[in-house]
Chain A
Amino acid sequence: MGAQLQTASENGPGSTADSPRPLLIAEGVRKTYVFRRTLMDRVRRSETNLLAAVDDVSFTLTSGETLGIAGESGSGKTTIVRCLIRLVEPDSGSITFDGIDVRAASGSALRDIRRRMQMVFQDPHASLNPRLKVGACIIEAGRVHKRPGASNRDVFVSQLLELVNLPSSVAEKYPRELSGGQRQRVAIARALAVGPDVLIADEAVSALDVSVQAQLLNLFEDLKRELGLTMIFVAHQLSVIAQTADRVAIMFLGRIIELGPVSVVFRDPQHPYTRALLAAHPQPNPDQRLKIEFQGTSVGLDVKRGCQYRLRCPYAEEVCEQETPPLAPAGPRQVVACIPRPFARVGQDASEADVVR
């Protein structure tokens, strides 16, 4: 791999592996959408309908780790990662990336933030320009961000294609000539062309067949190790998170309801919703039958106070109606937003929860 593809070492202090300082800090991020008011709403002077797509979300990202963000559709997992690079403008809260205030950044500072945090989207067919050959598409990304080495087009492109295990002949093809898995590799190569520190994969393997999906997951793992990348993996498939992430944040209707190491959260989930999600995963082993630990659907936007999940929760108590549960320590580096805590581990309490979030 040529020097121009080195990423993590060139971008300042936050990106060294042994730095205790988190690379990215999100603090109380909120994004609310306003439903369009119909004429009848205006006549009736009814209240404006608000939808908090992301509601008071805080987390940190340490250099070199992979954070998984899981949740059902409408949980806000895509909105929060889009807020991180301001593809969506958050309403409030703060986002700090390597010491830089992301929300205040503009011009070249914002451009540099976006260079250092690159996104790979679900559908490479929509995110690649259909009229650009693969090579042109990769070199364009490199030129826009003035990457060293981008002047030597052929070497630059073939190095990047090699990095994602594609033959250099792919450079002369159009996206439509490639399979879904190959297109997604091109999208990754284009993201890597600008030398990012953080790769944000938003449902990047969801549209792929299972055999190709496994190839891509292995590729992400290799890239992370070879380039020292930090990753955010957004997925609704919990098994994908289980295989890729170090820590996981579970989201429900705009809030993080549980966060912790994947090995802890998936083996011993503390929030009833996390348990329901894990139980609903269809196991390939026919003898491990599905258990349904939930009722209703996640549609229910009129919960103004209290726990958003209480209407579906079989363990809901009166207190769940009164108070919005805060994220509280629940185990080793694990936090959970649930007041009754029906699955609390006996003999383990907050004293063990050293670093939270």
Chain B
Amino acid sequence: MADHLSKTTTPHDLLSIRGLRVEFPPEWAPIVAIHDLNLTVAPGETVGLVGESGSGKTMTARSVIRLLPPTARVTRGEIRFEGEDVLSADSEELRRIRANGIGTVFQDPYSSLNPVARIGDQITEVLRLNLGLEQGEAEARAVEALEHVGIPSAKKRVRSYPHELSGGQRQRVMFAMATAARPRLLLADEPTTALDVTTQAQILALLKRLREETGLATILVSHDFGVINQTCDTVAVMYAGYIVEHAPVRRIYAHAQHPYTLGLVHSIPDIVPPDRRGHLSTIAGQPPDLSSLPDGCPFKPRCSLAKPECSQVDMTLEAVAERHFTACPFARN
């Protein structure tokens, strides 16, 4: 762990998460959603969190702004945003971080927008409360923000209600709201999952443009390796609450080391039809049951390379190459 941290943590980190552990209280079964997770984001960097449902990628992103479900508890660890301790921040400090430090965009724009308020009013409200702007100034900034995310005739559109917009436009409005206060970090949790593929491509292009123009750092959560690899600088692959591999996207695509990452990359169906129809490669077995994980590596029951020693693996990330870390000690050689 020390090895991984010394190589990835610098005083200039925008966000650093150290030893984060998130648990659900054992009313039915004790569940650890995130195990001693370390992650850093440099200014302007885009980090992808990829994994299957239940892998903890959304929990990780939400813990950064303390937006965990009410039953979840952070039992260990530290989260620092621009040096400030997020986990011990009081409500006023937390409000300030959420207001103009970290913007968020979630999967479903319809449930994130107020259905009975005009979108212009919703953005204006954000700007007045978070940046203390006057009404007139905030209105002008709202139009500007909508233009910036590519909403046509933004002056008219500020008067629209969410239901009058298409899914892609609603998601653009969410990006406008999330970035209107000029945050340094954007949390985007499956922002294109509910969208059609052509709209998705437009939103990903928008995300890229916002980053290039404003130097915005991003944590992008997605189950889709295509989306991650098209957008991110580095990617952390999560399984059962652990980061099992962390590397630049090109390394993950071409030189993945962890058996789970390899299985995941190989089970992506190719868009080029095969010459002869055969079987897709798959990962054997079922997704893990978080209430009864095995000792050691949680991937062991599904792993084709599993051996008895896997029960002793402590899941710390060790370097295999520059900026490339994996939790599997047997994949490393």
Asked if chains A and B come from one complex, the reply is yes
A280 touches B200 (CB 8 A): yes
* Residues 141-195 of B at the A interface (beta carbon under 8 Å): 166, 168-169
B83 at the interface (CB under 8 A from A): no
- Give the docked Cα–Cα distance between A229 and B91 (Å): 60
Q: Could you list 24 examples of A-B contacts with CB < 8 Å? A: A181-B286, A182-B286, A209-B223, A210-B52, A211-B52, A211-B263, A211-B267, A211-B282, A213-B269, A214-B280, A218-B280, A236-B196, A239-B270, A239-B271, A242-B274, A276-B198, A278-B271, A281-B226, A285-B229, A285-B253, A287-B250, A290-B201, A290-B230, A292-B205
A136 at the interface (CB under 8 A from B): no
Please classify how large the interface on chain B is, using the bins under 10, 10 to 19, 20 to 34, 35 or more: 35 or more
Kindly supply a per-residue 1/0 record for chain A positions 267-284, scoring 1 wherever the CB is within 8 Å of any chain B CB and 0 otherwise: 100000000111111111
Kindly supply a per-residue 1/0 record for chain A positions 204-246, scoring 1 wherever the CB is within 8 Å of any chain B CB and 0 otherwise: 0000011111110110010000000000000011111011000
Residues of B with C-beta under 8 A to A209: 52-53, 223, 287
Closest 3 CB pairs of A and B: A282-B226, A209-B52, A211-B283
Residues of A with C-beta under 8 A to B99: none
- Give the docked Cα–Cα distance between A72 and B167 (Å): 12
A217 touches B226 (CB 8 A): no
Query: Given A236-B196, A290-B205, A294-B198, A242 and B269 touching (CB < 8 A)?
Result: yes
B198 touches A280 (CB 8 A): yes
Query: Given A214-B281, A217-B269, A242-B270, A292 and B201 touching (CB < 8 A)?
Result: yes
- Give the docked Cα–Cα distance between A297 and B280 (Å): 33
By CB atoms of chain B within 10 A, which of A212, A282, A292, A297 has the most? A282
Query: Given A212-B287, A297-B168, A239 and B204 touching (CB < 8 A)?
Result: no
A286 touches B205 (CB 8 A): no
B227 at the interface (CB under 8 A from A): yes
Which one of B229, B269, B270, B280 contacts A282 once the chains associate, using CB atoms below 8 Å?
B229
B273 touches A282 (CB 8 A): no
Which one of A277, A286, A289 contacts B198 once the chains associate, using CB atoms below 8 Å?
A277
Smallest CB separation, A240 vs chain B (Å): 6
Which one of A236, A242, A290 contacts B271 once the chains associate, using CB atoms below 8 Å?
A242
Query: Given A211-B267, A214-B280, A286-B253, A243 and B273 touching (CB < 8 A)?
Result: yes
Residues of B with C-beta under 8 A to A218: 279-280, 282
| B binding-site residues for A, Cβ under 8 Å | 52-53, 166, 168-169, 196-202, 204-205, 223-227, 229-230, 249-250, 253, 263-265, 267-275, 277, 279-283, 286-287
B253 touches A284 (CB 8 A): yes
| A binding-site residues for B, Cβ under 8 Å | 72-73, 179-182, 209-215, 217-218, 221, 236-240, 242-243, 262-263, 266-267, 276-287, 289-290, 292, 294, 297-299
Residues of A with C-beta under 8 A to B196: 72-73, 236, 298
Smallest CB separation, B153 vs chain A (Å): 13
Which residue of chain A has the shortest Cβ distance to B260 in the bound complex? A211
B53 touches A286 (CB 8 A): no
Residues of A with C-beta under 8 A to B229: 282-286
Which residue of chain B has the shortest Cβ distance to A207 in the bound complex? B53
Query: Given A179-B287, A282-B226, A299 and B271 touching (CB < 8 A)?
Result: no
B282 touches A280 (CB 8 A): no
B267 touches A214 (CB 8 A): yes
Which one of A266, A276, A277, A299 contacts B272 once the chains associate, using CB atoms below 8 Å?
A266
B226 touches A292 (CB 8 A): no
Smallest CB separation, A90 vs chain B (Å): 25
Which one of A242, A277, A282, A294 contacts B204 once the chains associate, using CB atoms below 8 Å?
A282
Which residue of chain B has the shortest Cβ distance to A279 in the bound complex? B201
Residues of A with C-beta under 8 A to B224: 210, 282
